[in-house]
Structures are given as C-alpha cells and as structure tokens.
Structure 1
Amino acid sequence: MDLNIRKAILHNITNNNQDELEATIVDAIQGGEEKMLPGLGVLFELIWKQSDEQEKQEMIEALEQGVKQAGN
C-alpha cells in the first residue's frame, strides 16, 4: 500500500485559514499524541521552505533553547 502521509496532511489543511492552522498546531502539541508528530513535521517543512535565512536562524536558535530546556 502506497501511503503518502505528506500529501494526505496537505490535503486536509489546504483550505484552512490562519486560525484553523493555529488550532491544528496547538491541538497537536497539547494533545501530546505520537500520531500527530508527522503532521507537525509537515507543517514545519512548509514553514521552513517559506522562511528566509534570518527566520531559519531564529528558528534554529529557538529550537536549541527548547532542546536545552527539555533536557533539564
């Protein structure tokens, strides 16, 4: 069976507005369910591709800080 998770996730959010996209992210994080991780990955990929180098650097710095805090 050929299951394209990325394509399915994109199909599910194609017509979402900003509020709906934010709700999707918040629900996925607050729910803490492992099955939501691929969806968050696809959303992050979209953000990354739309970001310039400065924004990417800011995300990496925020990620580094989050990793450090999660490790404590």
Structure 2
Amino acid sequence: MNFNLRQAVLANVQGNNEQEIQHTITDAIQSGEEKMLPGLGVLFEVLWQNSDPSTKEEVLSAIAQGLQK
C-alpha cells in the first residue's frame, strides 16, 4: 500500500475557504491529538511555500517568541 499523507491532507482541504481552514487548524490544535500534527505540518508547508521573505521572517519571529514562553 502506497499512502501519501501529504496528498491526502491536501485533498481533504482542497477548495476550503478561509473559515473552514481556520476551523481545521483550531480543531487540530484544541484536540491535542498527536495524529493531527502531520496535517498541521502540511498546512505549514503550504504557508511557507506561498510566503514572501518578509512573511517568512514574521513567522520565524512568532515561532521563536512562542518558544521563549
């Protein structure tokens, strides 16, 4: 069996609007289930690949600040 998790996650959210994507992210975080982490990773990859250098710096800064807490 050849299962591509990345493609499965992308197919699951393909065509979702911003509100639906936000719900997916919020639900994944609130559930606290480890099985949701790969999906969040795929969404992060989409964000990263579609961000300009300035946005990437903002994301990195926010992550670094969050890790300081």
User: TM-score normalized by structure 1?
Assistant: 0.92
Aligned residues: 69
Deviation at 1:48, TM superposition (A): 0.5
Partner of 1:21: 21
Identity across aligned pairs (percent)? 54
Structure 2 unmatched ranges of 5 or more: none
Matched residues in 2 for 1:23 and 1:36: separation? 13
Which of structure 1's runs of 4+ aligned residues deviate more than 3 A?
none
Partner of 1:57: 57
Deviation at 1:40, TM superposition (A): 0.2
User: TM-score normalized by structure 2?
Assistant: 0.96
Partner of 2:11: 11
Matched residues in 2 for 1:68 and 1:42: separation? 24
